[in-house]
Amino acid sequence: MAHKPERMCVGCRKMFEKSKLLRVIELDGKIIVDDKQKVLTRGVYFCRDKGCIAAARKKKALSKHFKRNVSDDIYEKLSEWI
């Protein structure tokens, strides 16, 4: 069985195959949902569960990760991808 890269969901802290997760990254100073995962950078991963997005929003996971104030809009955008 080939090894597939796994990442941890910031909401439920479970490991998932990277390709199944949504990734949020900082690109050119903007925080965006990176659905293609082509940019080589660190990001925050979310499994496709609204509960995880809500949990991350509550604990301001993105603001903590990017060490800046991340607007709640991004969580709305993430919900649209689920």
Binding residues (CB under 5 A) for Zn ion: these are: 9, 11-12, 47, 49, 52
Closest distance between Zn ion and the C-beta of residue 28, in Å? 27
Q: Give the residue with the Cβ less far from Zn ion, 64 or 68.
A: 64
Contact indicator for 35, 22 with CB cutoff of 8 Å: yes
Q: Give the residue with the Cβ less far from Zn ion, 31 or 46.
A: 46
Closest distance between Zn ion and the C-beta of residue 29, in Å? 27
How much is the CA Rg of the chain, to the nearest whole Å?
12
Specify burial of residue 10 (Cβ count, 10 A radius: 0-12, 13-18, 19+): buried
Closest distance between Zn ion and the C-beta of residue 11, in Å? 4
Q: Give the residue with the Cβ less far from Zn ion, 68 or 82.
A: 82
Among 24, 6, 82, CA closest to 48: 82
